Structures are given as C-alpha cells and as structure tokens.
C-alpha cells in the first residue's frame, strides 16, 4: 500500500509498505480522506533526518478487525486525532476528557493517515452518518473540533461581536462556527487571500494588521466598547496580546493556535482591571463529535473550508500548497 513519509527540509516521499493487520482491539481503516494539519509544520520544515509518520485527521471505512467490539467491517468512521491511547478508567477519562487521561499510553500511529490504510485502536474510530461526505468527516474532530471546543467552553450568543485572529484552517473553522451562532465576526490575518476566503461566510469585517491599525479599527467597529469574545488561532504572541487588548470589560478570550515553540505573555494591567476570562483550549472531546455532526447536518458549511484536494502520489505538492499560504484546508485522497 502507499503511504507518505515526511523527512524534514520539505522532503516528502510516497513509498510502498505492507498493509497493516488487525490485532485484538486494533483495527485497520481504509483511509478515504486525510487532511494536512498545521501541526505538521515542524516535521515538514524540520531538520530531522529521520522519517516521520504523517497525518492524523482522517475519515474512512473500517476494513479489517480482529477482536473489536465497538466497530465492525464496513463502518464509516472518522479517526480521533490522538497522540496517545487512553485508559478509560481514570477520572478524566470517565468524564469524557480523554486528552487529560492520567495513564496515557504513547503510541506511534501506523503508518499515519496520509496512507491507504491506518492501524488504530477501535475506540478512536467515531461513527459518521451516510449523509456526511468523507472529505467533510475528516475535518470533524480536529479542524472543526478545536474551535468548537473553545467556543463551547466560552459560550457564544447571537449578540456577540467576535474577533478571530488568524484565519488559516482553525481560524476559518472558528469563523463558520461563529457565524452558525449568528455572531458578528471581525476576521484578522496578514494574508489577504485568506481574508477573502472567509468573507464568503458573511464575515462583517476583515482586517489586515499590516495595512490597517488593528487596535484603532476594532475600536471604530465596536464604538470603543471592545469585542465580546476573541478567538486567537494563529499562535503568534503579538496576536495573543492584541486579543487581550481588544475584548471588552468582562470579555472572554480563547487561545486556540499553537506554534512549535512556546510564546510568553506579559499579563497587561488591563487584563486584571477588565476582569477578562481567558482559556487555553486543545482539541474536541469524543462526546462533542455528534454535536459537530449535527451542526453540519443543520447547514454548517464545513466543506467550504477545503480549498484543495490531491492524490496521494501528489503529496509533495499537497504539502507545498498547504504551507504556501495560498490555501485553507488541503485534503489527500489516497484512493484517487
């Protein structure tokens, strides 16, 4: 079968390896759609000479099972984008917060979802209905799930004005979810192509901070009131500080974007004086999976996040396109 290997220094190879075989609760999923994620930046541009498994956002069909109890051959599933397997016994697991499992078991995805088949534990296979296309389903648990988690934790109302900084895949997904809640959105990015893309979702205002004074524009738009909610999706330290400055007194901020290195925030005095609520938010939870599906079925235009699709043999071009800034979400279809 074909699989993508990432070697760093922008080197991509598509190689042939044996198909994985199921064992116990590990099942084989035939991958139909696999999305490239911004978190793959470090392996794609890194200096490592070691090959890396590639891909974790995907949807497909359960192909082979051994002793599985939760799924069966033929099930349509999206794959929970986990870095660990979970114990399902500790308090966080029992509450559905798998990502905070107290007894996680590290695993190396094999061979990664940019492949024709993936070996994964059955509990990470989440069901998708027939009316959700595989390309859209590949977005559910990471690209859509990350902003959905943050927005849900903060709470969002139709009367809210929402500032979204960085409208790459996560920010664009945050935009469509915010518009689904009928909020007024101010989208911010240094990339005019991405600002143009999110404009199609009914965004009321777009700002390029290299062309306009962000602080001044936000004040004008909100009539000096400040935004109700800020969703920081770029991972840039400057944007994080801008979000804290832009929210109104008692406003709310969610930090969703990450970079490969830690950013440091010097807490400004107005953070305390304005009594801002700020959270970090990381990935959706399995119990949120059906909630995101319901939004898609009710009209969330998730498919519009996908700007490019590639065959697996064109994986190098797919990665180049994704990290060029001229795309939003890029999908690899291993069987086309």
Examine residue 61 and state whether it is found in any structural domain, yes or no: yes
Give pLDDT, residue 110.
84
Judged by DSSP in three states, 304 sits in helix
My answer on whether 150 and 272 are in the same domain is yes
Residues 18, 89, single domain; the answer is yes
Taking alpha carbons only, the member of 268, 192, 277 closest to residue 228 is: 277
Tokens 């490592």 -> residue? 48
Task: Identify whether residues 59 and 97 lie together within a single domain.
Answer: yes
Q: For residue 108, what pLDDT is reported? A: 63
Task: Say what angle helices 214-222 and 237-246 make with each other, to 10 degrees.
Answer: 30
Rounded-to-integer distance, Cα 317 and Cα 57, Å: 18
32 and 64 share a domain? yes
Query: Does 111 lie in the same domain as 25?
Result: yes
Asked if the structure places residue 258 within a domain, the reply is yes
Which value, to the nearest 10 degrees, does the dihedral of the CA atoms of residues 190, 193, 196, 200 take?
A: -120
Domain of 6, CATH number, reads: 3.90.180.10
Q: What is the per-residue pLDDT for 124?
A: 94
Per DSSP bridges, beta strands 26-35 and 117-121 are antiparallel
Residue 18: inside a domain, yes or no?
Answer: yes
Same domain for 103 and 124, yes or no, is: yes
Asked if residue 291 is part of any domain, the answer here is no
Pairing of strands 76-79, 57-64: antiparallel
Same domain, 123 and 149: no
Whether 171 and 210 share a structural domain: yes
The answer to the question of residue 295 being in a domain is no
DSSP classification of residue 66: S
* 11 and 67 fall within a common domain: yes
Q: What is the pLDDT of residue 90?
A: 97
Q: What is the pLDDT of residue 48?
A: 61
114 and 15 both lie in a single domain: yes
- Flag whether 220 is in a domain: yes
Domain count for the chain: 2
**For residues 208 and 199, what is the distance between their CA atoms, to the nearest angstrom?**
13
Nearest to 186 by CA among 147, 232, 151, 250: 232
Q: Where are the alpha helices (DSSP H) in the chain?
A: 41-45, 91-94, 134-137, 145-154, 169-180, 192-199, 214-222, 237-246, 269-273, 289-297, 315-322
In a domain, 29, yes or no: yes
Do 200 and 256 fall into the same domain? yes
Flag whether 293 is in a domain. Answer: no
As a three-state string, the secondary structure of 23-55 is: ECCEEEEEEEEEECCHHHHHHHHCCCCCCEECC
Q: What is the pLDDT along the chain (336 residues), one digit of tens a residue?
A: 999 999 888 999 999 999 999 999 999 999 999 999 998 888 888 866 555 778 999 999 999 999 999 999 999 999 998 878 899 999 999 999 988 999 998 776 689 999 999 999 999 999 999 999 999 999 999 999 999 999 999 999 999 999 999 999 999 999 999 999 999 999 999 999 999 999 999 999 999 999 999 999 999 999 999 999 999 999 998 999 999 999 999 999 999 998 766 667 778 888 999 999 999 998 899 999 999 999 999 999 999 999 999 999 999 999 999 999 999 999 999 999
Q: Which CATH number covers residue 197?
A: 3.40.50.720
Please identify which residue in the block is written with the tokens 């001229």: 326
Q: Which domain holds residue 237?
A: 144-280
Residues 127 and 17 occupy one common structural domain = yes
Given this model, what pLDDT does residue 245 score? 95
């Amino acid at each position: 079968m074909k699989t993508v290997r990432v070697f760093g220094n922008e080197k991509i190879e598509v190689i042939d390896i044996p198909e994985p075989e199921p064992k116990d609760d590990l099942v084989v999923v035939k991958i139909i759609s696999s999305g490239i994620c911004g978190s793959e930046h470090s392996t794609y541009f890194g200096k490592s000479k070691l090959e890396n498994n590639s891909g974790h956002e995907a949807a497909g069909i359960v192909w082979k099972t051994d002793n599985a109890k939760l799924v069966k051959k033929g099930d349509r599933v999206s794959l929970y984008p986990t870095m660990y397997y979970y114990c399902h016994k500790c308090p966080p697991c029992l509450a559905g917060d798998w990502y905070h499992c107290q007894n996680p078991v590290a695993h190396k995805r094999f061979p990664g979802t940019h492949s024709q088949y993936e070996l994964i534990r059955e509990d990470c296979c989440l069901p998708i209905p027939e009316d959700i296309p595989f390309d859209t389903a590949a977005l559910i648990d990471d690209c859509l799930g990350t902003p959905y988690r943050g927005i849900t934790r903060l709470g969002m109302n139709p009367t809210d004005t929402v500032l979204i900084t960085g409208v790459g895949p996560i920010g664009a997904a945050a935009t469509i979810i915010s518009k689904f809640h009928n909020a007024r959105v101010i989208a911010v990015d240094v990339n005019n192509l991405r600002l143009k893309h999110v404009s199609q979702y009914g965004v009321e205002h777009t700002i390029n901070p290299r062309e306009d004074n962000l602080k001044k524009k936000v004040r004008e738009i909100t009539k000096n009131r400040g935004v109700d909610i800020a969703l920081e999706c770029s991972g840039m330290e400057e944007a994080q500080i801008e979000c804290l400055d832009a929210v109104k007194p008692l406003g709310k901020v969610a930090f969703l974007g990450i970079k490969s290195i830690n950013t440091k925030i010097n807490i400004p005095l107005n953070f305390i004086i304005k009594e801002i609520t700020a959270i970090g938010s990381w990935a959706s939870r399995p119990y949120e999976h059906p909630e995101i599906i319901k939004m898609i079925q009710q009209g969330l235009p998730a498919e519009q996040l996908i700007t490019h699709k590639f065959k697996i043999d064109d994986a190098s071009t797919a990665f180049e396109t994704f990290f060029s800034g001229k795309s939003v979400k890029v999908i690899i279809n291993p069987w086309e």
